[in-house]
Amino acid sequence: MSSRRVLIVGGGSSGWMTAAYLDAVLNGAGQDPVDISLIESPDVPRIGVGEATIPSINHILSAIGIDEIEFLKRVDGTYKQAIKYVNWLDGQGESYYHAFGRYRPGPVDTSALDWLMSDRSIPFSETISAQPVVCDACLAPKTLGQENIGARFTYAFHMNALKFADYLCEIATSRGVHHYLDHVTDIEMAENGDIGAVHTRKGIRIEADLFIDCTGFAGLLIEKKLGVPWVDCSQWQLCNRALTIQVPYEHHYPGYVRPNTLATAVSSGWIWEIPLQTRRAWGYVHGSEYISEDDAEKELRAFIGPLADEFPARLVPFKVGHRAKSWVKNCIAIGLSAGFIEPLESTGLYLSDLAAVMTTEHFPYRGDMEALAFRFNRIMANRFYEVLDFINLHYCLTRRTDTDFWREVQRPERINDRLKAKLAFWRIKPPSLADFEDQFFPGQPDIPLQSGGLAGDHRSPVDTAGIFTLSSYEAILYGMDFLKAECDQWFGSARPSSRVQPGIARRLQLAPTILPAHDEWLKHVVGMQDYPTTR
């Protein structure tokens, strides 16, 4: 069988993750049936504001064959065990966690029902996971020796996205992926309507059987050449800007490295705090209709304090939505060219990860792409709207009325129809595993996807909990005080105290004695510099 030729146009994290993963999976047996090339322009700046991931990143690292410790060293990585949300409910300093791990006591898990029937004196997340307390203590998810704390903690990573892309480039090219550092000047079409080749500034013509568009929001192939339209989802996601500031530890080191992302709700959106081995980064994700760039920067700097005074702020605009189809003809859009949802749950790289995995599972060895694209597009659309629902959930349950932004996100037209149906059903019956069979609930309208004039599967998307499971929904719902009034009605107002699962209590008793501080683990194992604490 002759080699199939794949050309990835665009680099960055998405491009090089796709290249490395496709090569590892499709050419892993050593037969090299797929010839993979990547071209990236020296004229296009890389965003590189830092990156937080979700636990699925561990699959792609394992498939590529990346050692975790080496990975952490190469990308200034730190562990991420959870996201801590502050000020999302009332704006009065309240907080809750979306932790990645959950303790299940047996074949029938009644943890959520037990908590709903209690007085809620302990936050829900702390009754089903040790990780909120571990994160508050800034402990690592691993020991320095062979001590046993039971089942391993579930985690993801914080990392320098630019260094991650460079590391993947090094791995992929060492294994045979061709790398062109050149600017695409023209795209040549074949007689059948497929893309035939790209032409570059240096006069090179590169042919391929399959083209992958990783050119970001520009959509050089998928939009500018094939004309596939963008489906705007900003009705349900009001944020469209991120203003970022990075402060190196040489300037200020707080004396700890959080093992979690911090997401604090402020006047017109929220501010992330992401720690790496060399710096802390803050980003104000906000809606440009609700705050000016100058005021957003003032609010961000006031939030960080004087330690940020010497460092510039960088504005990163984005748009929320997706291509009507990610795979059209012989072109697959991956990364920002395919779609984007704001970074609240760190799903940017996940959608690229998923697209790379789905490309290998639907790879067109024989060139017959139509049926493969049909299924690929359905899977990606389902997963996009699953993420959209979940991000939408974080906003719509707020009780904040202090600014126009927080009043607006609660309006019915800002809550998408799928999420409305879920919430209405869950006010009758608390969420359970059965609800994630296909997630089509009473009252949910059966609205077809926008087709963009393209053939394919346009059925209303369904949520199969491929990324955000029952545990994820429970964390946000109960962190945002969902069903409080209903529980008073169902179970009465005088209810017993909340209790921590015995298995969680045992882990918390052990944790301080055998889990090191996160920064100490990083210093001992991956060589993080020992910075003096700034007072």
User: Buried (b) or exposed (e) across 332-369, using 16+ Cβ within 10 A?
Assistant: bbbbbbbbbbbbbbbbbbbbbbbbbbbbbebbbeeeeb
* Residues that are catalytic: 80
Structural tokens at position 487: 């529980």
Ramachandran region of residue 440, left (φ > 0), alpha (ψ -120 to 50) or beta?
A: beta
Q: Please state, in angstroms and rounded to a whole number, the distance separating the CA atoms of residues 483 and 428.
A: 9
What sign does the CA torsion over 137, 142, 144, 150 have? positive
What sign does the CA torsion over 401, 405, 409, 412 have? positive
**Count of other CB atoms within 10 angstroms of residue 276:** 24
Strands 178-181, 156-159: pairing kind: unpaired
**CB 20, CB 359: distance < 8 Å:** no
Reduced to 3 states (helix: H, G, I; strand: E, B; else coil), residue 354 is helix
Q: Please state, in angstroms and rounded to a whole number, the distance separating the CA atoms of residues 201 and 373.
A: 31
Of 128, 147, 115, the C-alpha closest to 503 is: 128
**CB 42, CB 245: distance < 8 Å:** no
SS3 content of the chain, % helix, strand, coil (to 5): 35, 20, 45
Reduced to 3 states (helix: H, G, I; strand: E, B; else coil), residue 415 is coil
Query: Burial of 503 by CB count in 10 Å (0-12 exposed, 13-18 middle, 19+ buried)?
Result: middle
Structural tokens at position 117: 């029937």
Reduced to 3 states (helix: H, G, I; strand: E, B; else coil), residue 157 is strand
- Residue 475's H or E segment, with its range, is helix 470-479
Q: Please state, in angstroms and rounded to a whole number, the distance separating the CA atoms of residues 245 and 200.
A: 35
